[in-house]
Structure 1
Amino acid sequence: MNRQQVSDAVDGLGWRLVLGAICTEVAVASLTQAAEAAAVAVQAAGDDGQGHLSVDIRAQRAVLRLQSPTEWAVTKVDIVLAQAISTALTGHGLRLAAGSVQALEIAIDALDIAAVLPFWRAATGYIDEPGPSDVSDALVDPSGRGPTIWFQQMDAPRPQRNRIHLDIDVPHDAAAARIAAAIAAGGTLLSDAAAPAFWVLADPEGNEACICTWQGRD
C-alpha cells in the first residue's frame, strides 16, 4: 500500500499516518480508564496484534500505534486491526482522535555516513532500521521508545550551520497549525520547497527544525 492509500483507509476512523505507522489517541478521565481502553484494543486486535499494536498509557489519554514489526511500515493487516480496534473502542463509548500524535526524528549531517553511523549506533544502543525507508541510513530504538536518528549526506563542510536538526512528523492535517504556531513563537520559515513532505523552520538564532508529513513522498 502506498501512503495515500493508507491515509485514505484510516482517516475516517480517527487514525493518522505518521512516520510509517498509523496512530490515534483515546481521551480518558483516569489512568484506570486508559488501561481499560488499552485492554479493549488488545482484545479487539487478537493474536494478529502481536508485534503490530503498541499502546502508551497515560492519565489523560491512551495513544495507540500500529505498524508491521517486520516491514516497519503499515500493511493491510494494520488497516484491518485499526478497523477492528476502532469498532471495539467506539462500542465502549470511547472516542478516537488524531489529537497530538506525532513522532520525533533527529537528523545528523555527515560527510562520511559510514564513518559516523557506527559511533551513534554504539553510543545509543540503537539498531539499523529494518525494512524499507525513505533514507538509506537510519537507526531506531529497539524498544520503540526513542526517536529515530537518520543521517543526511553533506557534499561539503558547513561550519556556519548546525549539524543536527530535529524532524517533527505530524498528521498531514496538523502541519499548517504547527508551522503557524512556531512562526508566532518567533520562528522563521526558511523553505517550503519540499512541502508538503516537509517545511524547514529556524528559531531566532538559526537552529533548524523540519515539520514533516507523509505527503509528497510516494
Structure 2
Amino acid sequence: MAESVSAKQFHDEQGTAGWHVLYGGAQTVYPTGSFATGVEFIRRIALDTVAVGREPDIDLRPEAVVVRTASTPRGRLDALDVELVQRVSAIAAELGLTPDPSQLHTIQIAIAEAEGTSTRDFWVAALGYESLGGFVVDPLRRGPRMWFDEISTPGRGRTHIDVAVPNDRADEHVAAVLRAGGRLADASHAPQWWTFASPENHGVDIAAWGDVDDGA
C-alpha cells in the first residue's frame, strides 16, 4: 500500500506545479485549444497509467482537459498520486500544454437538516448517488458530492453550496464575489473559508483549506 501524502507534501514534490488539492483529490485544468489535442493528451496518459497502476478521472471538452487523481473516493492522496501527476505533467509539457488553475474549482452541496433528522436515503434515491462515509456521492464522480449539516442555531443560513478553490487564488475569488454583490456573512474561519450570502440570501462558502490541509 502506497504511503499517504498530505497536501503540503504533494505541493513540495517536483512536477506538481499547477495542480491543486480540492474536493476529490489533486487536479488541474489543461487548456488544449482543440478536441484532437485533448484526445491525444488522454491517449498518452492512458498508456502511462499502466506503469503507475492508477488511473485518473479525466474530463474531456473541446477546449480543455481536466485531470484528477486520488487514492480513495474521499479524495486522499498517496505516493502513487504524486507519481501519476508527475507523469501527466511531463506529457503535458511535451505537448506544449500548460495548466490553468484560474479555471479550477470544485463544488459540494451542504444539505441542512434539523437535529435528529436524516435525509440521506432521499438524496441517494433522488439523484442515483451512493452513500460514502459522511457524504453522498455520484458513483462516477461527475456531479458535486453532498454532505449533511445539522443546524439548530436560529438565524443561520440552511442548505448552501461549498466552492473549493486553489489556496493562492482564494483572495481573488473572495474579492470577485464581493464585487458581484455578495455579503460577507462570516469571516471567522478565514483564510480557511469565507461564508457569503447572495443578494437573495443564498449561502455560499468559498473554501481554500483543502489545498493546504490534510482534510480534503
Smaller-chain TM-score bracket? 0.7 to 0.9
Give the Å deviation of 1:44.
2.5
Residue 144 of structure 2 corresponds to residue 147 of structure 1? yes
Per-residue CA deviation, residues 194-213 of structure 1 (Å, 9 max, x unaligned), is 12221001111222100012
- The alignment of Structure 1 onto Structure 2 pairs a total of residues equal to 209
Determine if the alignment matches structure 1 residue 78 to structure 2 residue 75: no
Please say if 1:68 is aligned against 2:63: no
Structure 1's 11 and 191: CA in aligned 2 closer, same or farther, altered over 3 A?
farther
- Between 1:27-36 and 1:62-71, the stretch displaced more is 62-71
In structure 2, what is the Cα distance between the partners aligned to 1:77 and 1:143?
21
Query: How far apart, in 2, do the equivalents of 1:30 and 1:217 lie?
Result: 35
Counterpart of 1:99? 102
- Offset of 1:188 from its aligned partner? 1.2
One-letter amino acid of the structure 1 residue matched with residue 160 of structure 2: H
Unaligned runs of 5+ in 1: 131-136
The answer on whether the counterparts of 1:10 and 1:79 sit within 8 Å (CA) in structure 2 is no
Q: Tell me the C-alpha RMSD between the 2 structures.
A: 2.2
Distance (Å, rounded) in 2 between the aligned partners of 1:71 and 1:204: 33
Match of 1:209 among 204, 213, 216: 204
**Which letter does structure 2 place at the counterpart of 1:59?**
P
Change (3 A) 1:47 1:126: farther
Q: Among the aligned pairs, what percent are the same residue?
A: 28
Which digits, 9 at most, give the CA deviation of each residue in 1:20-68, with x for residues without a partner? 4111121112111111111122222225354x40111111111111112
Aligned-residue offset at 1:217:
4.3
**Preserved contact between residue 20 and residue 74 of structure 1 (Cα < 8 Å):** no
SS, match of residue 13 in structure 2: helix
C-alpha displacement at 1:70, in angstroms? 5.6
1:193 matched residue in structure 2: 188
1:96 counterpart SS class: coil
Q: Is there any run of 5+ residues in structure 2 with no aligned partner, and where?
A: none
CA 1:16–1:64: 2 relative to 1, 3 Å: same
For residues 75 and 216 of structure 1, the distance between their equivalents in structure 2, rounded to whole angstroms, comes to 15
Taking the aligned partners of 1:183 and 1:77, their CA distance within structure 2 comes to 39
Distance 1:11 1:148 in 2: 28
How far does residue 115 in structure 1 lie from its aligned partner after superposition? 2.5
In the TM superposition, residue 216 of structure 1 has moved relative to its aligned partner by 6.6
Residue 174 of structure 1, aligned match among 164, 169, 174: 169
Q: In structure 1, how many angstroms separate the alpha carbons of the residues matched to 2:164 and 2:72?
A: 20
Tell me, in whole angstroms, the C-alpha distance in 1 between the residues paired with 2:112 and 2:138: 19
Query: Aligned partners of 1:184 and 1:70: how far apart in 2?
Result: 35
Taking structure 1 as the reference length, what is the TM-score of the superposition? 0.86
CA distance in 2, matches of 1:123, 1:10: 43
What SS does structure 1 have at the residue aligned with 2:83? helix
Q: The residue matched to 1:45 in structure 2 has which SS?
A: helix
CA separation of 1:30 and 1:113: change in aligned 2, threshold 3 A: farther
Aligned AA for 1:108? I
Q: CA deviation at 1:191?
A: 1.4
- CA 1:49–1:34: 2 relative to 1, 3 Å: farther
